[in-house]
Amino acid sequence: MYEIGWFSTGRDKAARDLLKVVYDNIKEGKLPNLKISFIFSNRNWKEAKESDLFFELARNLGIELISFSSWNFRPKLRERALEEEKRRKSRLIEDWRRLYDREIMKRTGRFRPALIVLAGYMLILGEEICQRYSIINLHPALPGGPKGTWQEVIWKLIQERSDQTGIMIHLVTSELDAGPPLTYCTFPIRGGRFDRLWQRMEEKLKKRSLKEISEEEGEDEPLFQEIRREGVKRELSLMVHTLKVLSEGKLKVKGRGVFQKGKITPGLRVDKEILEEWENDVWGNQK
């Protein structure tokens, strides 16, 4: 049995969808070798409505939930570290992360997962926890693409007037979004309905800066929405496909490397597989 730990802040519906789809495919026998041993969240009950909904889902699925609030952990140190980080690179924030990660490891120490999956986990992990566990993360960009939150990635794609983007699952290191990829898929953001949306964006940019557009329209901006929509509909399939090849031993994580048939791989491009799975509704995608 290939046991995994599941880390999530549980801050939105996407976090719930990802957990539910993986769980359902385990129960339906589509991921027969996989087991979610525990869920860890850096929020506690009553901190936010969305995370409470996520906790309720975990309870209904019968998966052990470990919650430990990062907001309430050493709050004075955290606040001081974040303020210092705004002005210059801060060792304080690294100290805070290390202390918090040690508390996580105390609480999850009785488990022996083959892998930790970050699924909407909104904290950067430090070096110690990355050395203890093999950890993977879903990131809404191609290898070598923009880093940061999915919102930051999309605005960067628009700023750079990109022709394509993608989704990847990569090995986590202490450097943000920089670990080697396991799997990834690509999709165009030009052509078809995108061309009309890009044209509208260019017209807006004649009158306002991109920063002003992002502040005024935010996630409601039509081009932003369409890029996000195309990414989200691939995320569930990519996660489940990746867990399938890992649990079957077709892809292996050892230390800081990703291996296929005993050799280091630069990551598997799985455009065709993800498109087929999506069109055939293999993983119970929410269309």
| Domain coordinates in residue numbering, the chain | 2-279
**The tokens of 128 are what?**
């110690």
Cα–chain center distance at 157: 18
The pLDDT of residue 278: 62
CB 251 within 8 A of CB 171: no
The pLDDT of residue 279: 64
Q: Report H helices in the chain.
A: 13-27, 49-61, 75-87, 91-108, 127-132, 150-159, 193-205, 210-217, 222-247, 271-279
List, for the chain, all residue ranges whose pLDDT scores fall below the cut of 70.
Answer: 278-287
Assigned superfamily of 2-279: Formyl transferase, N-terminal domain (3.40.50.170)
**Which residue in 131, 114, 79, 66 sits closest to 243, CA to CA?**
114
The pLDDT of residue 256: 81
Radius of gyration of the chain measured on its C-alpha atoms: 19
The pLDDT of residue 283: 46
Beta bridge partners of 268: 183
The pLDDT of residue 274: 87
The pLDDT of residue 286: 47
The pLDDT of residue 83: 87
